[in-house]
């Protein structure tokens, strides 16, 4: 029996053991020897496949069940005491009812299996902004992923001491039955119960479940923010680094932006991007009254397809050792990995993501995909060639700009700036984006995704907007400036109008110039847009017309976005009733008036 010095952890763990009835319980101490033994065990049972040790040292492959390849939003619940606390866009069930339902499922679910106890820290161990969780899981794959994505083991227990405050995370793989799959947050209990999945955001409970859903609730009560945002540092030729946080929905470009390589002429001048985080920001007000960001994670759980030497060199480099690949394709000739967009040479002797041996080029020619569109790599952040020297800074980095963005073929311009924090909060609250393969369900459907937090807010979204407004009041004139970008605008033939990727640097430079008061802008109905010529297009193959389209606000289209009876902002806000902050209603009126003027 595992004996822990912390009585609260011990008592809770014993209760979970009594319910799940594992044959064995193993404490994850974080030692390399223990992790190595687990990798070996996972290979021996077929749970993981060892990849080419010379080309991909320390790398492993894992395939999940075909019905278990993405987050499941319709099976994700926020179980607050009242339905109003969870709000109209979260699934809700009364905690007692949910506990009863789940206990029946967990009962004896680990018979014949081993339960692993993973103490982990979100944020550098000992940082005043870090929080500790303990995940109980019967999956070695989860243990090995958590070892990359978070700080784990004995140092975390030492840091927790006898403090009873930790997030209680329980995961049982059970039989991966999608009909009994539940991803459940109990914010008031700091508890997360996940069952019948073995995939990413459903089971690596430190990530979306804790660092966003539970943490957003804690942040509201404690005066800080947990956001679905990357953190990057942009260094100018003088060697000054400014930090930007950006919230884009799942599979909409956070990892890519966080690691971008500037276009050649800017690189030559001495511009450089440093990665602090690629998915989640915890934001606190520092002693100087400014907003500071830490990345609570220690690794990247990144989208594989589309990642290439050209599109995201730094992400690809990060995956060259100590990485776990999930649901990509295998090249059986040399036991390396492949996915759509990696290069133009799909392996002939391939195993596609579901496990069938196929001829890659023929399979693709027939319309197949070798890698699942939401296949992922789990890579240690320390592998990243441009990891920020501030990555482990327990105080975080000061934020100059907050950027919202979505995947919109129409309507949203390449970039615009909000007038102030309140308007910026409205811009975030009214974000919309086309759905992606990161969650189960239809792909390419435009939906509202406020602050890229629709699937991740741990309480009523209207109260969350209220919290944003509160934070803005506390920050006052030290608040970061708020912007909105869209890399995904398309022409009538369906081609992207903007080259994206490294060239997004050109937009970031305008944003930082605006923050520093170095560049003027045109005031339009929705805020401020760049004056013609103020976005650096040197060396870009883009027509004046296309650039104009990218920066023009089509008032008719925008009015539709406000008024559409099904998808419009008005309709969207209405569901929050009295809980909608009056400031948001005011901003909506202003926008409508501006568009009609
Ligand atoms: P999550 O990990 O799900 O939160 O995703 P993410 O926001 O980190 O998205 P990621 O950077 O992994 O990008 C997702 C997909 O969008 C990949 O297939 C990228 O190749 C593509 N993408 C990223 N940036 C751009 C861009 O600037 N332009 C275009 N056209 N595609 C992009
Ligand atoms: C996302 O979907 O936003 C992800 C991947 O970052 S997951 O961890 O599955 O949530
Ligand atoms: Mn994400």
Pairing relationship of beta strands 521-524 and 527-530 according to DSSP bridges: antiparallel
Closest listed residue to residue 209, CA positions, set 231, 191, 196: 191
Neighbouring C-beta atoms of residue 155, cutoff 10 Å: 15
Distance CA 526, CA 592 (A): 9
Instruction: State if residue 198 touches ligand 2 by the CB under 6 angstroms criterion.
Output: no
The burial class, CB within 10 Å (0-12 / 13-18 / 19+), for 469 is middle
Instruction: State if residue 249 touches ligand 2 by the CB under 6 angstroms criterion.
Output: no
On whether the CB atoms of residues 347 and 388 are closer than 8 A, the answer is no
Best residue among 211, 252, 342 to mutate for probing ligand 1, ranked by most atoms within 8 Å of CB: 252
- The dihedral through the CA atoms of 239, 281, 73, 135 has a sign that is positive
Distance CA 230, CA 396 (A): 13
Active site residue 515: no
Q: How far is the CA of 110 from the centre of ligand 2 (A)?
A: 26
Q: How far is the CA of 482 from the centre of ligand 3 (A)?
A: 20
**Ligand nearest, relative to CA of residue 149:** 2
**Ligand nearest, relative to CA of residue 248:** 1
Instruction: Work out which ligand 2 atom sits closest to the CA atom of 204.
Output: 8
CATH architecture of 227-297+389-592: Alpha-Beta Complex (3.90)
Instruction: Work out which ligand 2 atom sits closest to the CA atom of 438.
Output: 2
Q: How far is the CA of 407 from the centre of ligand 2 (A)?
A: 16
* Element at 358 (helix H, strand E): strand 357-358
The burial class, CB within 10 Å (0-12 / 13-18 / 19+), for 165 is exposed
The pLDDT averaged over each successive group of 10 residues in the chain (597 residues) is 95 98 98 98 98 98 98 98 98 98 98 98 96 98 98 98 98 98 98 98 98 98 98 98 98 98 98 98 98 98 97 98 98 98 98 98 98 98 98 98 97 97 98 96 95 98 98 98 98 96 98 98 98 95 94 96 94 98 98 97
Best residue among 438, 441, 443 to mutate for probing ligand 2, ranked by most atoms within 8 Å of CB: 438
- For domain 300-383, the question of CATH label 3.40.50.880 is answered with no
What's 452's DSSP letter? G
Distance CA 456, CA 450 (A): 10
Q: How far is the CA of 420 from the centre of ligand 1 (A)?
A: 28
Instruction: State if residue 254 touches ligand 1 by the CB under 6 angstroms criterion.
Output: yes
Distance CA 331, CA 349 (A): 6
On whether the CB atoms of residues 128 and 39 are closer than 8 A, the answer is no
Closest listed residue to residue 80, CA positions, set 228, 188, 216: 188
Residue nearest to atom 15 of ligand 1 (CA): 251
Count how many Cα atoms sit within 13 Å of the Cα of residue 32 in the half-sphere of its side chain.
2
CATH, domain 7-30+70-222, list 3.40.449.10, 3.40.50.2000, 3.50.50.60, 1.20.120.450? 3.40.449.10
What's 68's DSSP letter? -
Residue nearest to atom 21 of ligand 1 (CA): 253
Instruction: State if residue 306 touches ligand 1 by the CB under 6 angstroms criterion.
Output: yes
Angle at 593 between CA 591 and CA 595, to 5 degrees: 70
On whether the CB atoms of residues 516 and 525 are closer than 8 A, the answer is no
Using CA atoms, how far residue 244 sits from 33, 116, 274, 350, 510, in Å, is 38, 37, 11, 40, 12
Instruction: State if residue 504 touches ligand 1 by the CB under 6 angstroms criterion.
Output: yes
Helix H segments across 200-308? 200-203, 215-222, 254-258, 264-269
| Residue 264 three-state SS | helix
Catalytic residue among 252, 384, 386, 515: 252
Q: How far is the CA of 438 from the centre of ligand 3 (A)?
A: 8
Distance CA 223, CA 473 (A): 12
pLDDT of residue 459: 98
Instruction: State if residue 506 touches ligand 1 by the CB under 6 angstroms criterion.
Output: no
pLDDT of residue 532: 85
Neighbouring C-beta atoms of residue 406, cutoff 10 Å: 25
The pair of structure tokens assigned to 572 is 């969207």
**Ligand nearest, relative to CA of residue 227:** 3
**Ligand nearest, relative to CA of residue 258:** 1
Neighbouring C-beta atoms of residue 260, cutoff 10 Å: 25
Residue nearest to atom 12 of ligand 1 (CA): 303
Q: How far is the CA of 149 from the centre of ligand 3 (A)?
A: 13
Instruction: State if residue 438 touches ligand 2 by the CB under 6 angstroms criterion.
Output: yes
The pair of structure tokens assigned to 193 is 């119960």
Residue nearest to atom 6 of ligand 2 (CA): 250
- The dihedral through the CA atoms of 461, 466, 472, 474 has a sign that is negative
77 strand-pairing partners: 91, 184
What would the 3-class secondary structure string for 138-205 be? CCHHHHHHHHHHCEECHHHHHHHCCCCCCEEEEEECCCCCHHHCEEEEEHHHCEEEEECCCCHHHHCC
> What are the backbone dihedrals phi and psi of residue 282, each rounded to the nearest 5 degrees, phi first?
-110, 125
Instruction: State if residue 500 touches ligand 1 by the CB under 6 angstroms criterion.
Output: yes
Residue nearest to atom 9 of ligand 2 (CA): 201
Residue nearest to atom 10 of ligand 2 (CA): 201
Instruction: State if residue 453 touches ligand 2 by the CB under 6 angstroms criterion.
Output: no
In the chain, the N- to C-terminal Cα span, in Å, equals: 71
Instruction: Work out which ligand 1 atom sits closest to the CA atom of 249.
Output: 7
Instruction: State if residue 208 touches ligand 2 by the CB under 6 angstroms criterion.
Output: yes
Instruction: State if residue 284 touches ligand 2 by the CB under 6 angstroms criterion.
Output: no
Instruction: State if residue 232 touches ligand 1 by the CB under 6 angstroms criterion.
Output: no
Residue ranges of domains in the chain = 7-30+70-222, 227-297+389-592, 300-383
**Ligand nearest, relative to CA of residue 371:** 1
Residue nearest to atom 11 of ligand 1 (CA): 253
Distance CA 177, CA 187 (A): 25
């Amino acid at each position: 029996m595992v004996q822990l010095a912390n009585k609260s952890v011990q008592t809770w763990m014993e209760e979970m053991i009594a319910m799940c009835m594992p044959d064995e319980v193993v404490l994850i101490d974080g030692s390399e020897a223990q992790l190595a033994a687990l990798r070996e065990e996972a290979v021996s049972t077929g749970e993981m496949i060892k990849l080419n040790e010379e080309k991909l040292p320390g790398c492993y492959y894992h395939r999940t069940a075909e019905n278990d390849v993405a987050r499941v939003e319709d099976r994700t619940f926020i179980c607050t005491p009242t339905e109003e606390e969870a709000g109209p866009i979260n699934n809700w069930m009364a905690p007692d009812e949910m506990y009863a339902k789940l206990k029946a499922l967990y009962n004896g679910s680990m018979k014949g299996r081993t339960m692993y106890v993973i103490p982990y820290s979100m944020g550098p161990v000992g940082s005043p902004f870090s929080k500790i969780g303990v995940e109980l899981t019967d999956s070695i794959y989860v243990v090995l992923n958590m070892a990359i994505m978070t700080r784990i083991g004995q140092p975390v227990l030492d840091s927790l001491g006898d403090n009873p405050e930790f997030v209680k995370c329980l995961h049982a793989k059970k039989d991966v039955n999608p009909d009994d799959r539940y991803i459940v947050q109990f914010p008031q209990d700091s508890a997360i119960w996940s069952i019948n999945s073995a995939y990413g955001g459903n089971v690596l409970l430190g990530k979306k479940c804790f660092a966003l859903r539970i943490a957003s609730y804690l942040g509201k009560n404690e005066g800080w923010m947990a956001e679905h945002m990357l953190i990057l540092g942009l260094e100018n030729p003088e060697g000054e680094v400014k930090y930007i946080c950006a919230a884009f929905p799942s599979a909409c470009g956070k990892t890519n932006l966080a690691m971008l390589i500037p276009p050649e002429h800017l690189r030559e001048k001495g511009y450089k991007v440093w990665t602090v985080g690629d998915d989640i920001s915890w934001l606190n007000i520092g002693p100087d009254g400014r907003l500071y960001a830490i990345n609570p994670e220690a690794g990247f759980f990144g989208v594989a397809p589309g990642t290439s030497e050209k599109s995201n060199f730094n992400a690809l480099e990060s995956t060259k050792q100590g990485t776990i690949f999930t649901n990509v394709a295998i090249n059986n000739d040399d036991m390396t990995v492949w996915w759509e967009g990696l290069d133009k040479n799909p392996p002939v002797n391939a195993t596609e993501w579901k496990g069938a041996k196929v001829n890659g080029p023929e399979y693709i020619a027939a319309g197949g995909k070798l890698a699942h569109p939401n296949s992922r790599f789990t890579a240690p952040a320390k592998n990243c060639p441009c990891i920020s020297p501030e990555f482990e800074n327990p105080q975080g980095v000061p934020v100059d700009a907050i950027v919202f963005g979505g995947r919109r073929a129409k309507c949203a311009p390449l970039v615009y700036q909000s007038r102030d924090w309140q308007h910026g909060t409205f811009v975030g609250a009214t974000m919309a984006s086309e759905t992606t393969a990161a969650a189960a369900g239809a792909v390419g459907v435009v939906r509202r995704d406020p602050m890229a937090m629709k699937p991740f807010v741990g309480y009523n979204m209207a109260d969350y907007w209220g919290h944003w407004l509160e934070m803005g009041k506390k920050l006052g004139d030290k608040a970061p400036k708020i912007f909105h970008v869209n890399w995904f605008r398309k022409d009538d033939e369906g081609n992207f109008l903007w080259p994206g990727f490294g060239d997004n640097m050109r937009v970031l430079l305008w944003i930082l110039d605006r923050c520093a008061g170095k560049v003027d802008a045109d005031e339009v109905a929705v805020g401020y847009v760049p004056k013609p010529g103020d976005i650096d297009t040197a060396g870009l193959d883009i027509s004046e017309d296309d650039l104009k389209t990218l920066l023009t606000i089509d008032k008719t289209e925008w009015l539709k976005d406000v008024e559409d009876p099904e998808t419009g902002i008005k309709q969207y806000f209405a569901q929050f009733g009295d809980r909608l902050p009056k400031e948001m209603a005011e901003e909506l009126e202003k926008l409508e008036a501006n568009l009609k003027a």
